[in-house]
Structures are given as structure tokens and as C-alpha cells.
Structure 1
Amino acid sequence: MVWPWRRKSRRRMARICVEGPIAAGTRDRVLKALRQVEERECPALLLRVDSPGGTVGDSQEIHAAILRLRKKGCHVVAHFGNISASGGVYVGVAAEKVVANPGTITGSIGVILRGNNLSRLLERVGIRFETVKSGLYKDILSPDRALTDDERRLLQELIDSSYDQFVSAVAEGRGLSAEAVRAFADGRVFSGAQALELGLVDELGDEDHARRLAARLAGLDEDDTRPITFGKQKRRFAGLIPGRSLLTDLQGSLSLDLAWSGQVLWLYRP
């Protein structure tokens, strides 16, 4: 018996790219693309991950959506590109199989939270904050003062909770024990070849290698099946101007640093 969804989309392999820092915009684009893949009942998905990670909640939502898609019968293979670190790893381990280039930068499993202590600078320029708050910790990470010992302890507990969630997801996704994951989940980065030895990826190869693996898992023709990309990022005209792309990237990085100050992040920050 040939199931209806097989007749409908047996030649269709989907492809989705998770590129750049993972934030709300990336989440919305990728989740929409995953819904389209589910609606079209594609039997296979090639998930290209080229990201240093980003915000915790957005990474978790993408991870959960990939798991739901797999439960619908879609075979998901992730390919780690130039860099797939921290939240990029979290997203990738939701796949059935993971392929990485030998030189891919991956790992950086851990959590980071940064704030800005500008108290000395503010004092020099004569700026002083007046704060009225409802609770002792309501202005935690305020830029006009240093953390107290109690505040640092509370934030460390927050980081530890997020870290436990990260370790559990990697352990479950990769079929490893939590103890094995913790042994290398200290923020360090690896090459794809090192990640293979640790069990963080299944195979080494380029994106075409990952495509062929996805085709085999879904029972598709490896030679004839070409993926259809969903959720393409819109190219802006400014990005075509020589030198403008670098300036845009620098501006974007600075904006993210400012926007993410005080947020718990799954992010590789060299």
C-alpha cells in the first residue's frame, strides 16, 4: 500500500537554513518554513545550520518544532556549515542525524549572561540614577552599580538551570549520557572532526553528503532528489554595495550586543 502523503510528495525534499544569530526574526522565519514543510508533507528535511547561537527561548522553539515535524514522519538531517555553536548546536541536535564539515566550528555548549557596570563612567560625567523598586532584586544587573553577592548567586542559579536544559537536550538528541555531555560542555569549541569523536555529530561531509543521507533515510533517490528551500532570507539592495555588507554586519553585531545585554544566551562569543 502506498500512503497518500507518499504519492503527494515522494519527490520532495525540503531545505531550511538557520543562518546568523538566533533571535526573534530567525525564529519567526524558521518556524514558518517548518510549518510549510509539514503542510506539504515532505518526507525529508535538510536543515542547514550556520549560526553561533543566540537567545535561549528562540532556540528552544525551533528545536521543539523540529521534533514535532519528526513525529509527523519527516526525516530531518542537519548539516553544520562554517559555524554551528551553542544555540546552533541546540537546534541541530533535534535532527535525526547530524553531518558536519571536518573544519566546522561547533560546540560552545554553555550559557552566558552579561550586563554592563557603568557606575564609574556615570560618576565621572555626573549622572546618577534614582531607583524606586518593588523588591530587593528588581533592578538586578542595573548598569549604575555592581552586583551584590546575593544577586550574583541568584543569577548563577538561573544560568545553572538553563545549562541543565541544554545538557539534557544534547544528551537526548545525541543518545549520550548527561555525564558524557558535561565532560565536554564547558563552553569550549571543537572542529567537526573532534565533534565526531565526541559523538556530537554522526558523519563528516559537505552539504551534498547530508542531502544524500536524508534521501536514503526517506527512501528517496539520492541522485535525482534536489531539495526545495523554504524560508529564504530576503536580500537587501544595500548588501550588494561593495563594503556595505561588512558595515551592516558590524552594525548588526553592535545592535545585538546592546539588545542582548542582561539576557541569558546560548551564544558563542569569541
Structure 2
Amino acid sequence: MFSRRHPILFFILMFTGIVMSSFVVISLAVMVSLSPEDLEVGEGVGVVEITGVISDSQQVIDDLKYFREMDEVKAIVLRVNSPGGGVGASQEIYRALLKTRDIKPVVTSMGGVAASGGYYAAAATDGIVANSGTITGSIGVIMGYTNFRQILDKIGLEPVVFKSGEMKDAGSPTREMSEKEQAYLQQLVSSLHDQFVRDVAEARGMELDVVRKLADGRIYTGEEAVSLGLVDRMGNLEDALEWAAELGGLEDDPEAIYPPRPKTNMIDYLMDSAAVRISSIMPQPEVGASFIYKMGQ
């Protein structure tokens, strides 16, 4: 065996391998644990990210507040890679952005997709930059659920419901919907849609009728969105940073400053990554009707 014939060389190789492995683990742990609070930063542009389905607004609101109060940050870029999400969460982010842009300039950088609730948020900023192939628009509201009535009939299950009012279980997946309920839920969808259209028109300085014509749920490429007035410029994240820096009175090539995140150790990082991967491949249950500003599926 090699270890018997060349014991010294074998020992050197083993020692080198152990040292290199330890160095990689320590380096990764340091990278994971390091947060912007550990670094001294100069003046720059804060970057707030909206990634994935918008189900909760708290992190984005906290990040915006952090940069509003940070003197070194002269402007903010909202980086959006989202197909949209919950109505309430999208509206909360919209309001937080309106508040923020009254204090510091905010520019949106659209990634691959910034649609529906993602566009709702972007509309509240001072300017929007998109790639020519960005998928955006999808201004609209969708409500959907799966009706299990026929399955319940086949297996002999009969749901029993006690309710305080006629519309309390409107949209129930266990029975057919009445015409009155359909009209009621459609009215809710239309009301939420009107709010979406109104807020986009107000924040973007566009005519209400113009936005309404564009807001039939269809998606647009970034290039189309520019020609329609929904987006201001073509460009990527770097272009958005430069525009925001200009609005904030900074020099060219601005420093991008990201909000701090809680420190974590390597084991927590690996466990969290595994949990995210598992959740991404597991089927998501549908739990009844809900209203969402999300690109149609």
C-alpha cells in the first residue's frame, strides 16, 4: 500500500488535506456569520430585495426603515424578483415605499419577473428599471380554489356547517356556489382590482383610464412596459444603482449596501438550506379561497 511504502509522503498529504478542509469550513462559517454590521461602510445606495412570492411584508418594511434612518445611505434600490403574492402584504410594502421615497429617492430594479404584486410595489418608487426580457405587468386580482363536492359525494361524506351569516362560508370547497355568492365574490375581486389600478395610476402619475386599459391581467416584457409607460428605463441592477446614486447626489460607481441579517453558524445555515430545498419540492396544499395579486398560473 502507498501508506506503507511512503509513510512520510502519506502523512504530509493527509495533513495537508485536513488543513485545507478545516480552512474551507472556517471560511464558509465566517462568510455565513458576517453581516454588514461587522463592516465599516461609506456613503452608498441601500438595496432592499423582494424575492419569491410575497406572503409577508415585515422584512421589507424593516429593511426600508433601516435605510431611511441610516445616514450613509443616500438612496435606495428595490430589487424585485417576484410574481406577486398576497393583497395585504403587497399593499403594506407599497405604503412603506411611498413613505420612504418622501425621505430618500427609491429606484426599482426588475429582475426576471416583477409582476402583479411585484409590480404593485415597484409602482410606488421614483423610477423603474427593467431588462428587455423582464416579465412584468399582470395588473389584476385572482381568487381560486378547488371544489371537492363530487369527491365527497362518491365516498359518502356530508359536510355539516353552522354559520352566523349567509355569506360566512362563501367559496366553500365542499359545496356548489350559488349565483348570489358568485356575484358577491366577483364584486370583492373587482373592488381589489380597482384599488390596484388606482394606486398604480396615482404613484406613477398616469391617467386612471390609461392604467385601467393595461390592467386586464396580461403580462408585458420590459421592453413593452417602457413603451406603455409602466417602466421608465431599460437596464440592469447596476444601471438602477447608478440612477439611484445620481438622484441621491452620489458619485458614479456607488457602493451597494445590503441590510444586516442575524448571524448564524454553519450548522444552522446547512439546516435552513436543506429545509428550503425540501419545502420547494413538496406539494403545497390549497386551503380554500384567497385573494392574491399574483401572476396567473
Deviation per CA, 1:13-59: give whole Å up to 9, x if none: 110100000012xx111111111112214320011000000000000
The structure 2 residue matched to 1:20, chosen from 52, 75, 87, is 52
C-alpha distance in 2 between matches for 1:148 and 1:232: 49
Report what 2:258 is aligned to.
Answer: 229
Map Cα deviations across residues 171-197 of structure 1 (whole Å, 9 max, x no partner).
112221111111111111111000001
Check whether the contact 2:140–2:215 (CA below 8 A) recurs between aligned residues: yes
2:43 aligned partner, one-letter code: R
Q: Kindly provide the amino acid, as one letter, of the partner of residue 127 in structure 2.
A: K
Q: Is the 8 A contact 1:30 1:231 kept in 2?
A: no
The answer (yes or no) to whether the contact 1:10–1:220 under 8 Å persists in 2 is no
Q: Which residue of 2 aligns with 1:198?
A: 228
Unaligned runs of 5+ in 1: 1-8
* 1:17 and 1:232 in contact (8 A); partners too: no
1:267 aligns with 2:294: yes
Larger radius of gyration: 2
Matched, 1:166 2:196: yes
Structure 1 residue 10: deviation in Å?
A: 7.6
Residue 89 of structure 1 contacts residue 109 of structure 1 at CA under 8 Å; is this kept in 2? yes
CA contact (8 A) 2:44 2:245 kept: no
- Partner of residue 122, structure 1: 152
Alpha-carbon distance change, 142 to 123 in structure 1, aligned in 2, over 3 angstroms: same
Which moves more between the two structures, 9-18 or 88-97? 9-18
Q: CA deviation at 1:87?
A: 0.1
1:184-230 Cα deviation digits (max 9, x unpaired) = 1111111100000110000001110111000111110122x211112
Three-state SS of the structure 1 residue aligned to 2:258 is strand
Q: TM-score, normalised by structure 2?
A: 0.80
The amino acid that maps onto 2:92 is E
- The residue type equivalent to 2:258 in the other structure is T
Aligned residue in 2 for 1:6: none
Return the offset for 1:238: 5.2
Equivalent residues of 1:112, 1:266 under 8 A apart? yes
Partner residue, 1:62: 93
Match of 1:84 among 82, 103, 114: 114
Q: Match for residue 44 of structure 1? A: 75
CA contact (8 A) 1:29 1:231 kept: no
Q: Matched residue of 2:286: which SS?
A: helix
The residue number in structure 1 matching 2:165 is: 135
TM-score under structure 1 length normalisation: 0.87
Residue identity (%): 36
**Count of residues paired in the alignment:** 252
Query: Deviation at 1:237?
Result: 2.0
How far did residue 71 of structure 1 move?
1.5
Determine if the alignment matches structure 1 residue 189 to structure 2 residue 219. Answer: yes
CA RMSD of aligned residues (A): 2.1
- Name segments (4+ residues, structure 1) moved above 4 Å: 231-236, 238-241, 244-247
Q: CA deviation at 1:239?
A: 7.0
Counterpart for residue 5 of structure 1: none
Structure 2 unaligned blocks of 5 or more: 1-40
> What is residue 155 of structure 1 aligned with on the other side?
185
Instruction: For 2:139 and 2:280, locate their aligned partners in 1 and report how far apart those are by CA, in whole Å.
Output: 24
The equivalent of 1:258 in structure 2 is 286
Equivalent position amino acid for 1:163 in 2? H
